[in-house]
Structure 1
Amino acid sequence: MAKIVLITGGSSGIGKSIGEFLTERGCIVYGTSRQPVNYPESKFPLLSLDVKKRNSIETSVEAIIKKEGKIDVLINNAGAGITGPVEEIPEHEMKANFDTNFFGPINVIKAVLPYMREQRVGLIINITSIAGYMGLPFRGIYSSSKGALELITEAFRMELKPFNIHMTNVAPGDFATNIAAGRYHAPLEKDSPYKSAYGKSLDLMNAHVDSGSDPILMAKVIYKIMRTKSPKVHYKVGSPMQKFSIVLKRLLPDTIYERLLMSHYKL
């Protein structure tokens, strides 16, 4: 029987690649977008959903249940980037990022859990980020929101085990997507004490995205997880160096690791 899959943020980038890949393999996929009408060429249905609005979430989940009778897999992919010196990012932008990257996924999970619990089976995959494993300069809010999602997944999955509902994290590194175009950038103020360092880091971040991996790699990992009986707690998908950076953080003294990061970002 075909798996019923809900992917938040399915109109572009990683979400779109996952949706197309799963559709080609016989899954019934529903993606989401805040403006589905802007993507008439989507190869799978796109529902109108804003992860920051609970009514929007509940309406979309109920529509899938009404049509399909169940949701087998939830892929929390919708997310937003944010860059800038922590001191200069407006508080409302910080909160908006957490609303999208942290509270949004939690509220989507809450909406599907009653149905998965009734089915006595389900899989929830949270797309986080390798950036969530470390505090990166001028990406501190993004690192924090994704890191928070990583940690709450660890707790959440233990609470769900009695109901035969599995949960896991998949942390991508840099992929060639349009995330840079959609993220909030704190402006480069000419009188900012961070102007030079932030400018260099911003150029480096954009270059990493432009030269990132093909999102199809993420789609293949997701499909493999869906076919795994007992998913692991964490998966990392990225270049060998990006994945090795997480290992180094565990092995090296904090100050040495910090110096490596500062050198990488030319600080």
Structure 2
Amino acid sequence: MPELPEVETTRRGIAPHCEGQTITGVTVRNPSLRWPVPEDLAQRLEGQVIRTVDRRAKYLFLNLDGGTVIVHLGMSGSLRIIADDSPPMTHDHIDLQLQSGATLRFNDPRRFGCWLWADRATEHPLIASLGPEPLSPEFNGGLLFRASRGKQTPVKSFIMDNHVVVGVGNIYANEALFKAGIHPRRKAGRISADRYHRLAEAIRETLSAAILMGGTTLRDFVNSDGKPGYFAQSLLVYGRTGQPCPDCERPLKEIRMNNRATVYCSRCQR
């Protein structure tokens, strides 16, 4: 599933081709996504200018003068700029034709993504209750500490809650907790303010590094036949069960939390 760094890489990849462009046509081949594509989407979009392409959590915003298209990639979705006359593939569900002659094409084999319309995106039910962005000034250890008081939930589940902070997916939660030296099963309400400051910084560093590495794939957003070439990641613990801990060389352990792989070091994480 595309996570926050991959979605941000997508935003950066398509924005230069979309911003300032008038939408000259809309083709919806299959409206049956996670939620039905609005029947009047073409009517709303044709003739409008895409002013900006923004991101909130894992949602992309195509901001127009009259409102916003909210796009989510789901589990298997991708966006591409088609600069030639390449015919649509089986799972190419939506095309936006742009004044430049290029096409913004949405592909989603599993159809868990969405294309929705909102007059005010920040007030949409999917967006309004989201927590702060992890790379924003609003996110810090103090926020995590205050939100965690009295919480009995494991800290890994706590930081993956989009009402607490958005975009900390499973891989990044594993990595950040290792960097901060915190056991993933420790109760969120039993962690000190100092340790939350370290964890907030680890989350910020982990996601920033992943986004930076994603910059090498921006060329893949034009005329690619496949999915985004999401960047190879330099992971410290995730996917390395049984291998030596990067710090103490003790074999890394794996447990299941909420049916997700959780890898940690029993010596370095407390």
> How does the TM-score come out when normalised to structure 2?
0.33
Task: Pick the structure with more helix per residue.
Answer: 1
Q: In terms of Rg, which structure is larger?
A: 2
> How does the TM-score come out when normalised to structure 1?
0.34
